[in-house]
């Protein structure tokens, strides 16, 4: 049995063309769907500060999670991909944070 071949990574222009095509065809990805940040902010507030909440991963990952969280606080929205990552970073499943709204995103 032959080993599967790994495709070459897309160039920036190829990724951009693919995104345009997906957008034109109406495809939805977790990177384009957004959720409100408030449910996550309420849970993180119980920890006192985000430094205490984000305890999964190495120091670099925890710092990235905090930066993503602060950026989302500024806009009031968070992408579904970020929501999934940040919920897991505080030891929760996204449905524990956003409830039914998470399943609606997943069906998107």
DSSP readout, 18-62?
HHHHHHHTT---TTT-EEESHHHHHHHHHTSSHHHH--SS-HHHH
Position 58 scores a pLDDT of: 82
Position 96 scores a pLDDT of: 92
Position 22 scores a pLDDT of: 64
pLDDT averaged per 10 residues, the chain (length 108) = 66 72 59 85 85 80 89 91 89 90 68
């Amino acid at each position: 049995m032959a080993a599967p071949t790994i495709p070459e990574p897309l160039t920036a222009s190829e990724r951009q063309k693919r995104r345009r095509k997906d957008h034109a065809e109406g495809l939805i990805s977790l990177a384009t769907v957004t959720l409100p940040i408030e449910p996550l902010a309420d849970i993180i507030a119980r920890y006192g500060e985000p430094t205490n909440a984000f305890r999964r991963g190495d120091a670099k990952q925890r710092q990235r999670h905090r930066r993503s969280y602060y950026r989302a606080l500024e806009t009031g929205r968070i992408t579904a991909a970020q929501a999934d990552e940040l919920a897991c970073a505080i030891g929760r499943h996204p449905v524990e944070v956003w409830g039914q709204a998470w399943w609606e995103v997943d069906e998107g």
